[in-house]
Amino acid sequence: MQNTRKVISILVDNKPNTLARISSLVGRRNYNIETITASETHMPGVTLITLVVTDSDPDILEQIVAHIEKLEVVREVHVMDNNGGLYRELLLLKVLVDKKARTSLVEIAEVFRARIIDLSKSSMIIELTGEPSKIDGFMDLMSDYELVEVCRTGVTGMSRGL
């Protein structure tokens, strides 16, 4: 059976220990959380948690969703459709540069529509937002350079339409 990534969107009341309870619930069923993000929404006191999990068994995923839905702080749970959703991730990357590397990194950044947000004689910080596959492709190219620090936010997403 082939593993696929699933994005689970969870609206919750913003209460202490909610994130820990949800991640523990997923882990107890032997699912790996690849990324997890949480942020306030436009509704006061409501947080959106986005999980990306590796789906090796659809039956277990259904069980996980059912258990999450039972938590009193949970308002809604959606397993997002891979084709019906918009997904984004933010990358901040610090890389060592010399004059030659600086020029090539600027060119690569332009191709990916990344932004150079800090520049010194010895380093550069690049910001890139996009689909996870775009971030992965950019990181593949960056493997030829001396990376100092890499920070990825994890995936966040929204379903298309209403």
Structure letter (DSSP) for residue 2: -
CA torsion 90→92→95→99, rounded to 10°?
A: 80
Average pLDDT over residues 32-55: 92
- Banded model confidence at residue 97, pLDDT cuts 50, 70, 90: very high
Dihedral sign for Cα atoms in the order 110, 112, 113, 116: negative
Residue whose entry in the numeric block shows the structure tokens 């949970």: 74
Same domain (yes/no): 103, 154: yes
Same domain (yes/no): 106, 56: no
Q: Is 60 exceeded by the pLDDT of residue 152?
A: yes
Last residue of one domain, picked from the residues 25, 57, 80: 80
Same domain (yes/no): 66, 106: no
For residue 8, what are the CA distances in angstroms to 23, 58, 119? 12, 13, 37
**Domain range for 95:** 86-159
Average pLDDT over residues 66-75: 95
Average pLDDT over residues 42-58: 88
CA torsion 106→149→19→69, rounded to 10°?
A: 50
Average pLDDT over residues 12-20: 95
| Positions of E strands within 14-159 | 33-40, 46-55, 74-80, 85-96, 115-119, 123-130, 147-152, 156-159
| Positions of E strands within 15-105 | 33-40, 46-55, 74-80, 85-96
- What is the reported pLDDT for 2? 55
Same domain (yes/no): 21, 64: yes
Average pLDDT over residues 98-127: 96
Residues 69, 77 contacting (CB under 8 angstroms) = yes
Average pLDDT over residues 86-115: 95
- Banded model confidence at residue 88, pLDDT cuts 50, 70, 90: very high
Report the CATH number at residue 51. 3.30.70.260
Q: Is 50 exceeded by the pLDDT of residue 1?
A: no
d(CA 128, CA 117): 10
Please state the pTM of the whole predicted model: 0.82
Please name the amino acid found at residue 77: V
**Residue 36 pairs with which residues in a beta bridge?**
51
Last residue of one domain, picked from the residues 54, 80, 106: 80
- Banded model confidence at residue 56, pLDDT cuts 50, 70, 90: low
CA torsion 89→94→95→96, rounded to 10°?
A: 180
Same domain (yes/no): 18, 75: yes
Total number of domains constituting the chain: 2
